[in-house]
Structure 1
């Protein structure tokens, strides 16, 4: 009798594991990182809340891409890019404070949350777009929307108190961005990219959400 009970319990455990793995597979997200710029760039990705390892990929111009599978949970995910094809994590870490960021948290209570952040800087045009939308999501405003930030000429855009960074990211520092309130410098970013964060507490109308199980693309130079 005891052996029969153990077998039934083991079968129940295995079934629960199979169901759990199946649900994880259904809810797992993939992110297609695409380069539509006219030059080679390096795109980097990390997850701040799951180890912080940085992976970088050289993406050829005009639709070079890299698909990353992030599973059903990717807390504090960040994607950014910088010019050139070094795809070196050290260069990527140095470029990150000089770049605009695609920030994605996958699997937070059945929802994914994402935004574009210019809090630190801006260097490359950027788009986040849901490519498949899990039920019951729909494209409506901040629900499964597609934030974009595209500044034409960074040299004419980047005016004092903000300033150009040079290598490795070749961006424009947002001097007031890390602060809790808007400034003349952050307003310059806000006006150029109304879909994106311009300072650290700039939450209103900048956080997008889509049901977990959706897939996304992050596009440079959309």
Structure 2
């Protein structure tokens, strides 16, 4: 369960951003990115035209809302240990897409990666095929179909085999894939291993899968790792649990997924809703 401060901050930001935004088309998908980590995360997004040019900064408990049209196909990941100047130039320890806050290329491996294809039926997944750098969960809300929660809420940095570990100052900051480290046909699912029949789970991918059963652990890990949903909103949370309460603003109403069943924000949240106009006023004048 998220902290009250974290949920409150997310709700306030969602309401403020949506109330000041132009009316969304019925086909637009709402993306809410939330940082529940104890450290700052710099999400990268490609293509980034609908996402602040491809990069943002999220301090702990902060969130941000974007919209993307049907037809958008892209990737979202978290960067860690970044240092950018006032012009958005700098570097990151993990997930770097170059020397800019705003990404025009995918993040450098190892990186936890959320992938989306928005159409009449959306396809989405979280992939650890290129390694792991931060826990990441994708929660679809208000959609139709299977609409399962995807991702990895375990911190694989703590259990990463030493031969895959990326370290900085003695601390494991990311976990590489076996393909990235050993570059063999078997680990990389290429050559004679380049099809679903011959490419099988390895001891390393099984470690990833055991910790994160709804994330891709190797190239052909499709049946338990790729999901579909229609007309949905997406909440992408870093360092969250799969059953954490998250919220989205949909059809001019705020919804949360308590007990994994999206519902209108009612019940114990009504005092917060009554107080929101006053709190928003304070934010705007402060």
Which category of TM-score, normalised to the shorter sequence, fits these structures? Answer: 0.7 to 0.9
User: Could you tell me which of 111, 128, 132 is aligned with 2:121?
Assistant: 111
Matched, 1:96 2:96: no
Task: Work out whether residues 31 and 215 of structure 1, in 8 Å CA contact, stay in contact via their aligned partners in 2.
Answer: yes
User: Could you tell me which of 134, 143, 148 is aligned with 1:145?
Assistant: 148
TM-score (structure 2 length as normaliser): 0.57
- Name the one with the larger strand percent: 1
Question: Hey, what's the Cα distance between the residues in 2 that align with 1:86 and 1:73?
Answer: 33
Matched, 1:80 2:82: no
Larger mean CA deviation between 79-88 and 110-119 belongs to 79-88
Query: What is the aligned-residue RMSD (CA, Å)?
Result: 2.7
Question: Hey, what's the Cα distance between the residues in 1 that align with 2:36 and 2:211?
Answer: 20
Task: Work out whether residues 118 and 197 of structure 1, in 8 Å CA contact, stay in contact via their aligned partners in 2.
Answer: yes
Task: Work out whether residues 31 and 67 of structure 1, in 8 Å CA contact, stay in contact via their aligned partners in 2.
Answer: yes
Query: What SS does structure 2 have at the residue aligned with 1:144?
Result: coil
Question: Hey, what's the Cα distance between the residues in 2 that align with 1:54 and 1:86?
Answer: 18
Q: Deviations over 1:153-202 (max 9, x none)?
A: 613x11154232659x9310011364243211111111111111011111
Aligned residues: 182
Higher relative contact order (CA 8 A, sep 6+): 1
Structure 2 unaligned segments of length 5 or more: list them.
Answer: 1-23, 99-106, 180-186, 190-198, 241-286
Q: Name the counterpart of 2:39.
A: 39
Runs of 4+ in structure 1 over 4 Å off? 87-91
Query: Which residues of 2 match residues 1-222 of structure 1 at below 5 A?
Result: 25-47=25-47, 55-62=54-61, 64-75=62-73, 77-84=74-81, 86=83, 91=92, 92-93=96-97, 95-107=107-119, 110-133=120-143, 137-138=144-145, 143-152=146-155, 154-155=157-158, 157-164=159-166, 166=168, 170-176=173-179, 178-179=188-189, 180-211=199-230, 213-222=231-240
Query: What SS does structure 2 have at the residue aligned with 1:171?
Result: strand
Structure 1 unaligned segments of length 5 or more: list them.
Answer: 1-23
Query: What SS does structure 2 have at the residue aligned with 1:97?
Result: coil
